[in-house]
Amino acid sequence: MRYLAATLSAVFALAGCTSQPYVTPERLARGLVIVLPGIEGRGVLNQAICHGLDAGGVDYAIELYDWTSIWGPLANLRAEGRNRRIAEKIARRIAIYHWDYPERPVLLVGQSGGGAIAVWVTEQLPRGHDVDGIIMIAPSLSPGYMLDFPLGRTKRGIVNFHSALDWVFLGLGTAIYGTMDGYHTASAGMVGFRVPKAGGTPPVYSKLHQIAWRSKMSWDGNTGGHLSSGAAGFVAKYVAPFVLNEKWDEKLIANILNEELPDATSQPDTTSQPDAHPTWRPTTDAATRF
């Protein structure tokens, strides 16, 4: 018996068929995408991500997993211990899915605070249950957060869509209230992640792909601000191709962006900067940083 499919079908039947329209036994048999919303929880903004993935040709199960609490956005932003425990639960769900559907792709799409949850999920995955990839849209994580461990738990890598125009929420907002990992700074969803430089860049960072906002993305609904970062048209055109392609590299990115491949000899290194602060690394008890 397909334990996970039966369980999910029963839950969604109780909740109403429209609550998870893209989770069916047929879709589960093809693959799974878990969409993790921001600190506001489930709503039209993150439902648009699910609609965009479907419109972009993703025929896997697309589950919108609301990880937030009843205490509101600010509590969700700063409850790191609780959020890491939720991430552990999601990691166990992925392991169960793998047992039911071996060799099927599993990807995490996290918007804003959900980007942090996606990273923390990979840090809790049981051995032998790596995910195919993580796609972060405007993540609320500090730029110095070390991604070497999460990158090592993905087969394809991590994509970070960031925008310098997202200064209200991920610049001023996180400077005042903090990022999901507790630093008062502009987020990686605005300025990108720093790539470690001391001692040489870890080879695993070759699987980190950072895509800055372009004005032409406005044509598909993403105008560069936080609230438009998950627009359905943008997700269909720019995010869905990563779900559908097994190899993530500069050629794929250039094709998605409809741009020429960059000339590596003429591009300045803008990401290899010293870390601005010490960063958290996984321990045996991931929920007890503070």
Task: Provide the strand spans (E) within 186-262.
Answer: 208-212
**Per-residue model confidence as pLDDT tens for the chain (290 residues):** 444 444 444 444 333 334 899 999 999 999 999 999 999 999 999 999 999 999 999 999 999 999 999 999 999 999 999 999 999 999 999 999 999 999 999 999 999 999 999 999 999 999 999 999 999 999 999 999 999 999 999 999 999 999 999 999 999 999 999 999 999 999 999 999 999 987 777 899 999 999 999 999 999 999 999 999 999 999 999 999 999 999 999 999 999 999 988 765 544 444 444 444 444 444 333 333 32
pTM score, whole prediction: 0.85
Q: 18 Cβ partners below 8 Å, 6+ apart?
A: none
β-pairing, 61-64 with 106-111? unpaired
Q: What CATH class does 3-257 carry?
A: alpha beta
Q: Which residues contact 44 (CB under 8 A, 6 or more apart)?
A: none
- Listed by start position, the domains of the chain span 3-257
Instruction: Give the whole-angstrom CA distance, residue 256 versus residue 73.
Output: 33
In whole angstroms, what is the distance from residue 138 CA to residue 69 CA? 21
pLDDT score of 197: 83
- Look at residue 211 and give its three-state secondary structure: strand
Q: Which helix (H) or strand (E) holds 53?
A: helix 44-55
197 vs 200: CA distance, rounded Å: 5
Mean pLDDT of the chain: 88
Query: In a 10 Å sphere around its CB, with 0-12 CB exposed, 13-18 middle and 19+ buried, how is residue 40 labelled?
Result: middle
User: Cβ atoms within 10 A of the Cβ of 6, count?
Assistant: 12
Q: What angle do CA 262, 228, 218 make, to 5 degrees?
A: 50
pLDDT of residue 117: 98
Q: What is the pLDDT of residues 233-276, one digit of tens each?
A: 999 999 999 999 999 999 999 999 999 887 655 444 444 444 44
